[in-house]
Amino acid sequence: MNNKSEYSQDDQFLIERILNGDTNAFSIIIKNTEGLVAQIIFKMIPNKEDRKDIAQEVYLKAFRNLKNFRFQSKLSTWIGQISYNACFNFLEKKKPILPDNLQGEDESYEEPLEKLSNRFDSYNNQTEMNIYQKELSEILRAGLENLPPVYKTLITLFHNEELSYAEIGQITDLPEGTIKNYLFRARKALRDNILLTYNKEAL
């Protein structure tokens, strides 16, 4: 639907202030969206200096195109879309950012990442469990960094930012079925990478 959503009133007020000459109000938009923008850029762009350049590009483009925002989504989602596209275009010029075997059937696989820890539920000692949980977090972080940029981004948007499939679709311009498929493949790749790198004894 193209109707303005109930959550767009604050966004509309901010945009009207900026378009009427109060450019300082744009700092509020930056504050409200910088977390999401950072998540996308950090997951997709490995180089620190490139990240800075792309972040500046994102907000410059958002500022210049505020007049074209039609309130068909949250403002943060729209800026997230700009961020994703900026990263995607940047990486596309350098090298392929997705594996060749992404085409396939739509597999909706909802197993949360936390289930990777279920195999170790037999630990009874709380101190050992605390140590294990800390080590597992590091292992998951390292495993995530080894995934293709789009996989990392989708997992982050879904699990960390807790965005819906619809919101992720607005950001990435991917169909819901494709998002579910990529998330399934991303989780499977993460799990496989971890199991290949660490055996149970090492954990």
23-62 pLDDT, tens per residue? 888 999 999 999 999 999 988 988 888 998 999 999 999 9
> Is residue 103 included in any domain, yes or no?
no
| 108 located within any domain | no
Range of the domain at 172: 113-197
Final residue in a domain of this structure, among 32, 65, 94: 94
pLDDT above 50 (res 118): no
Residues 49 and 10 placed together within one structural domain of the fold: yes
Alpha-carbon gap, residue 88 to 11, rounded angstroms: 26
Does residue 96 have a pLDDT over 90?
no
pLDDT of residue 174: 92
User: Mean pLDDT over residues 163-188, rounded?
Assistant: 92
CA distance 67 to 109: 39
Would residue 55 count as lying in a domain? Answer: yes
On whether both 60 and 27 belong to a single domain, the answer is: yes
CA–CA dist 80, 166 (Å, integer)? 13
Higher model confidence: residue 135 or residue 6? 135
Q: Are 64 and 28 in the same domain? A: yes
Q: Would residue 163 count as lying in a domain?
A: yes
- Residue 138 domain-assigned? yes
Q: Using alpha carbons, select from 170, 149, 175 the residue that is nearest to residue 80.
A: 170
Residue recorded with tokens 């709380």: 126
Residues 6+ apart with CB under 8 A from 41: 51, 54, 55, 58, 83, 87
Do 23 and 50 share a domain, yes or no? yes
Question: What total of structural domains would you count in the chain?
Answer: 2
| Residue 107, CA distances (Å) to 111, 160, 188 in order | 12, 21, 11
pTM: 0.67
- Quote the pLDDT of residue 121: 42
Q: Is the Cβ–Cβ distance between 84 and 149 less than 8 Å? A: no
Determine, yes or no, domain membership for 102: no
Tokens 């495993």 found at: 143
Please indicate, yes or no, whether residues 10 and 90 belong to a single structural domain of this protein.
yes
CB 123 within 8 Å of CB 132: yes
| 191 and 123 fall within a common domain | yes
139 in the same domain as 68: no
pLDDT at 37: 93
CATH number at residue 62: 1.10.1740.10
Q: Which residue has the tokens 């996308």?
A: 40
Residue 126 to residue 178: CA distance in whole angstroms: 40
